[in-house]
Structure 1
């Protein structure tokens, strides 16, 4: 991977990715940042890795048994407790949980509906979480836990708006659904005649939906959401069949997802982007990643500047103060830590 001149503006930090040696060739779309020192990744061939020393070393802590599944999302609470989601139709969609740093895993959910396909999940705290499935019988399906992923329950769909023809979510980076303050959460879609963002304020029981001005189509839509608080959010995506083209690839909201404003092409990321995250300790700095590069926005997503031209699928940030850290992951075992 090559590196561009780090993005920098007057009085603003410059950023770059520091690659860490994982010793793996898996594609890591699942990523959980805990701090600058602790992170987990999940990927192809049932692979899960963990670092507790800032990426100097990675331990293979993959669950025994599911070597053929694709882990597309990881949510970690600390160095010992994590939950991973595998994707696919029917029984390929599963959840595994560890409380001992990956020494042992328990399968806590296996989808038995052949029409369901779980894409991503997120947690409000170390107990409450939601997982998202593509539409079943014309509506997106929500799975919920209230005990840290030990048990899961499919939620009623009476409060879920109907899906559009061809509409689905993208299992690209584990950020197609994000949990916010209180009981607020959002998920994003594509595939239909327009992308949309769904919003709940009661923990997933009832949802409202807003159209987005971003691109949509068979391979296009919103791939990732990032929110700072309950009102301020960013959506990134585009068309994954056109990775180097910024096809209506970003939008912003200031009202909690009720409405979205398209980022003009000359200020948008330089290509399709699959992951996004707000940088800790900075109220308006956002990172977006994709196969053709990484971009930074210092103004909450209104304008972007590319600072890296290597490929990543996912980005996550976590922690506070000196313990905060951002991580990225992608193909061929690539995992990196953000430095400045």
Structure 2
């Protein structure tokens, strides 16, 4: 395969940082970011429609999950009631607020999904929806391992909670003495936990994003998000569903906040961060930098439509 490269698109929002991204296809993608901004394209990024929820200007959207060009769920983070979930069924013309006070989200299909918040009373809180995000219920925490002191999920790219298949979901953590990955095989009711080889030991370090191409093969990326700090061992991979993780033998050279498998590939994936994009063609064992532009998040659609987004309104589509 040729070396992929990013083709920048003009979002028309240079004052917005986009950490939420959902790739529907090569033509359709959704962005969610600061200033309560939600954008949508249906023409491959040539034009973007501002479909932000009314009155959301003070919110920070960190995640978006789109089922198609009309249906999407966006999530905002912040103190107290600034954390909200909205859903649209008409391409963003109207929005319905469905929940307040949560953190990150993953969907198994167009109806079933989970959301998470940072630990409450020593355990991560998991919420579940069975109607595509229109309503949410808090799951019992009896199957959730205790959180470590200072442990949290990083809302850097919307990829600290990811799913694969009808029941499997993984959650990445950092900020504690050890970076960890939690796994549930029953849609969030019971969890196991494994230490990740990406360094922790500081509130700025840990696993920031996960990507699974099936229920066994996964990638983890992260590091130290402070620009003046090194990020050794910024990537890891698993072949057993997250029971064990191995560090990459040649990691990305710096902190990475997002990751995505290239569609229909068993070995190729991308990792993005503020200092560049890295490509692996061996399932996460080795990485090489292919672009030096700043991106926070990356997502790919089945039709080979891969998108990345980040600070200063940056958005791009992958070309081969």
TM-score between the two structures when normalised by the length of structure 1: 0.92
Once the two structures are overlaid, the 10-residue window that deviates more, 201-210 or 235-244, is 235-244
Alignment check: 8 A CA contact 1:42 1:71 kept: yes
CA drift of 1:243 comes to 6.4
Q: Does 1:338 align with 2:314?
A: no
Alignment check: 8 A CA contact 1:244 1:292 kept: no
Paired position in structure 1 for 2:110:
126
Paired position in structure 1 for 2:242:
257
SS in structure 1 at match of 2:22: strand
Paired position in structure 2 for 1:163:
147
CA drift of 1:247 comes to 2.1
Alignment check: 8 A CA contact 2:232 2:253 kept: no
Q: Where do 5+ consecutive residues of structure 1 fail to align?
A: 1-11, 112-117
1:278-315 Cα offsets, whole Å, 9 max, x none, are: 01122211100000000000011110010110100000
Q: Does 1:282 align with 2:265?
A: yes
SS in structure 1 at match of 2:313: coil
CA drift of 1:336 comes to 0.3
CA drift of 1:143 comes to 1.0
Q: How does 1:136-285 map to 2 (within 5 A)?
A: 136-216=120-200, 217-242=202-227, 245-264=230-249, 267-285=250-268
Alignment check: 8 A CA contact 1:231 1:255 kept: yes
Distance 1:143 1:87 in 2: 15
Distance 1:180 1:279 in 2: 15
> Cα 1:45–1:235, aligned 2, differ >3 Å: closer, same or farther?
same
Residue of structure 2 aligned with 1:317, choices 300, 305, 308: 300
Paired position in structure 2 for 1:15:
4
CA drift of 1:262 comes to 1.1
Alignment check: 8 A CA contact 1:244 1:272 kept: no
SS in structure 1 at match of 2:312: coil
SS in structure 2 at match of 1:332: helix
CA drift of 1:26 comes to 0.5
Q: Does 1:297 align with 2:280?
A: yes
Distance 1:301 1:242 in 2: 23
Distance 2:90 2:308 in 1: 24
CA drift of 1:119 comes to 2.8
SS in structure 2 at match of 1:209: strand
1:70-93 Cα offsets, whole Å, 9 max, x none, are: 000000000000000001232111
CA drift of 1:245 comes to 3.2
1:173-215 Cα offsets, whole Å, 9 max, x none, are: 0000001112110000001111000000111111110111111
TM-score between the two structures when normalised by the length of structure 2: 0.98
Q: Root-mean-square deviation (CA), in Å?
A: 1.0
Q: Where do 5+ consecutive residues of structure 2 fail to align?
A: none
> Cα 1:244–1:284, aligned 2, differ >3 Å: closer, same or farther?
farther
Distance 1:183 1:243 in 2: 39
Paired position in structure 2 for 1:88:
78
Distance 2:100 2:210 in 1: 26
Q: Which runs of 4+ in 1 moved over 4 A?
A: none
Residue of structure 1 aligned with 2:38, choices 48, 52, 55: 48
Residue of structure 2 aligned with 1:100, choices 90, 100, 107: 90
